[in-house]
Amino acid sequence: MLKYFLKFIVSASLVYWLFQRGVISVDYLKTIFNQPMTLVTCLTIFFIQSVLSATRFLIILRSSFIKGLSFLKVYSLNYVGLFFNTFLPGSVSGDFFKAYYLKDHSDNDYQKSLLISLSDRLIGLVGLFVLMFLGTVYLKITTNINVDIILYLISSIIFGMICGLFIIVKFKAFFRLHLKSKTSDGVIKTKLRLAIKTILNVIARPKVLMINILISLFIQLANVMVYYYLTKSVLPSGFNPAILLAVIPIASFVSGLPISFSGIGVTHIALQQLLKQYGIDDGANMFNGYLVIMIIFNFFGIIPFILLKKDNKKRP
């Protein structure tokens, strides 16, 4: 409980500091939200993003041999996860709730359900890094902006991911052979076996994995599009939208770090400083606009949450 309180204090303090310095402006939000078509466009993009996210989760469930769940049910589970990720402290709070309701609607225990939910998030993170890499490469080729350090760090992370995936795919038969349960296994060893088996089911099939990473890439692109449509009317003339391809994924990564409440405050500062390097002084305001739209869309996740709760009460 203390860590959640500290996160709230960090977020509140940073936002107050930004307001005091005039970095965050309410007028900026008014300019954006006085354009109804912009709001409709952004909410539509969020809806498409949620459909893509549910599709990826459904593919992961099938890879984990969980069948019998309709797309609508999977979409509801995923939407509940979005709702709690937004309105509860902790960057993975929604994953715990998604796993809880997945357990109730499938023949799996909570541990396996949670591992599947976290695997879904991990693949989403891969898509985030891939887009970050592509955006940074594009900036390096087409502009004079120095992105060498960022490109080196992202390339190292992606290279490590590729090596890890290659080892898993190449030696999956070996892993499966040595993961057979034994009656002499203790609790910790049994849980470890289950964790590795679940991860193998999700990532050890190259074609399925590539499809999921591609879906994750489009999900991250949708984030960039929301930022662009929210702020294109206030962006300076001559602004290169490709800059957002490199910057927004970094901001998204920062927002998931467990140091503030839903990334508030920390992501404001990160986006402000990143875009300042490219001559834009409204990064914190841009995140404000994105945050408000995200809260509006994710709030409606309470509807499937209520329906799933009612469904659970009817179940024997």
For 214-273, what is each residue's pLDDT tens digit?
A: 999 999 999 999 998 887 766 777 777 778 888 888 888 888 777 777 788 888 888 888
- CB of 112 closer than 8 Å to CB of 140: no
Q: What is the distance between the alpha carbons of residues 46 and 49, in angstroms, rounded to a whole number?
A: 5
Q: Indicate the range of 141-150, 275-284, 290-299 predicted with least confidence.
A: 141-150
Query: What average pLDDT does range 303-307 have in this prediction?
Result: 89
Give, in order, the Cα–Cα distances in Å from 309 to each of 77, 88, 206.
Answer: 11, 18, 36
- CB of 266 closer than 8 Å to CB of 257: yes
Q: What is the distance between the alpha carbons of residues 68 and 70, in angstroms, rounded to a whole number?
A: 6
Looking at residue 289, what is its pLDDT?
87
On average, the pLDDT of the chain sits at 81
Token couple for 312: 């659970």
Query: What average pLDDT does range 175-184 have in this prediction?
Result: 56
Looking at residue 42, what is its pLDDT?
92
pLDDT of 175 over the 90 cut: no
Looking at residue 174, what is its pLDDT?
63
Ordered DSSP codes for 22-49: T-S-HHHHHHHHT-HHHHHHHHHHHHHH
- H or E, element range at 57: helix 36-63
Looking at residue 75, what is its pLDDT?
94
- CB of 149 closer than 8 Å to CB of 274: no
Look up tokens 């049910």; give the residue. 73
Q: What is the distance between the alpha carbons of residues 218 and 212, in angstroms, rounded to a whole number?
A: 10
Share of the chain above pLDDT 70, in %: 84
pLDDT of 303 over the 80 cut: yes
Looking at residue 104, what is its pLDDT?
80
Global pTM? Answer: 0.85
List b or e across 17-41, with b for residues whose CB sees 16 or more CB atoms inside 10 angstroms: ebeeeebbeeebbeebeeeeebbee
pLDDT tier at 12 (50, 70, 90 boundaries)? confident
Long-range CB contact pairs, 133-137, < 8 A, 24+: 133/158, 134/245, 135/242, 135/243, 135/244, 135/245, 135/246, 135/247, 135/249, 136/246
Closest to 21 (Cα-Cα) out of 33, 13, 11: 13
Looking at residue 178, what is its pLDDT?
58
pLDDT of 150 over the 90 cut: no
Residue with more model confidence, 191 or 219: 219
pLDDT digits (tens, 9 = 90+) for 39-89: 899 999 999 999 999 999 999 888 877 778 889 999 999 999 999 888 776
Looking at residue 302, what is its pLDDT?
92
Q: What is the distance between the alpha carbons of residues 286 and 16, in angstroms, rounded to a whole number?
A: 17
Share of the chain above pLDDT 90, in %: 17
Three-state DSSP at 258 gives coil
- CB of 83 closer than 8 Å to CB of 305: yes
Looking at residue 162, what is its pLDDT?
80
Sign of CA dihedral 51, 54, 56, 58: negative
Domain residue spans of the chain: 2-16+36-308
pLDDT digits (tens, 9 = 90+) for 81-138: 999 888 776 667 788 888 888 888 777 777 778 888 888 888 888 888 888 888 888 8
Query: What average pLDDT does range 186-191 have in this prediction?
Result: 59
Token couple for 46: 């969020």
Residue with more model confidence, 287 or 165: 287
